[in-house]
Amino acid sequence: MNLEKPEIENFFKLNKSLLFYVNKKKQLIKGISSVVQLRGQISEKVIKLRNAIVKDPTWIDTFLKENPFNFSREELQTIESWKKGILDTFLVVKYEKETTIFYHPTTQKCYGVLSLYDPLPQMLGSYLPIYAETWLIPFKGKIIYDGIIAPYNIMFGRGIEKTIQSEYQEAILKHGIVTSLTSQETKTTSDEKNC
């Protein structure tokens, strides 16, 4: 359910470099003079930086054009692919062997998402479904979240749980589980016949 450690490190190198670049231009977080200082920080200001990038993807275009960290072509393509990401509130509905299933009520699709350092079941707990806001992004042909996930402390009644279960099962039957956010979406079926 997790990316491999070198992939995780590569993701955070790219992600924090982009955040640092945008912060240097927008000055949302004062006193940050290096990418290293952004590592391990999750704050409202980091979320604002992330949201600024999502709301205005020209930040990514400008970063790619300037390439201030001399990233390789492959690394730049990875960052460019993030423009296909989805920042929204999802329902985390199921932990499967390989991925965690995020149901997006707006697109009515289920996305198979990989964990980063900490497994999502460990972070979010065993009680599902749970609402969580995050940015799902493509990374090396897979779907991950950007390292920031904000679960809502909402308890669902039995009737709502059944409705959610019915909706996401219908989404899986209709679309499969989306495992890539590239233009050619990859779809798989659930590990279990009866989700």
**Across 49-61, average pLDDT:** 94
**Across 40-69, average pLDDT:** 89
- pTM of the complete model: 0.87
Give the model's pLDDT for residue 188: 57
Per the DSSP assignment, residues forming a β-bridge with 139 are: 142
Read off φ and ψ for residue 70, nearest 5 degrees.
Answer: 50, 50
pLDDT tens, 80-136?
999 999 999 999 999 998 899 999 999 999 999 999 988 999 999 888 999 999 999
CB 98 within 8 A of CB 191: yes
Cis peptide before 129 (omega within 30 of 0): yes
In this structure, are strands 177-178 and 109-113 parallel, antiparallel, or unpaired? parallel
pLDDT tens, 142-183?
999 999 998 988 878 888 889 899 999 999 999 899 999 875
Residue 138 has pLDDT above 70, yes or no: yes
Instruction: For residues 16 and 71, give the distance between their C-alpha atoms in angstroms, rounded to a whole number.
Output: 13
Give the model's pLDDT for residue 193: 38
Give the model's pLDDT for residue 43: 74
- 10 Å Cβ neighbour count for 98? 12
Of 65 and 44, more confident: 65
Give the model's pLDDT for residue 129: 93
**Across 69-84, average pLDDT:** 96
Q: Categorize the per-residue pLDDT at 194 as very low, low, confident or very high, splitting at 50, 70 and 90.
A: very low
- 10 Å Cβ neighbour count for 8? 18
Residue 184 has pLDDT above 80, yes or no: no
Residues with Cβ within 8 Å of residue 53, at least 6 apart in sequence: 18, 19, 22, 59, 60, 82
Per the DSSP assignment, residues forming a β-bridge with 142 are: 139
Domain-wise residue ranges, the chain: 5-83, 85-188
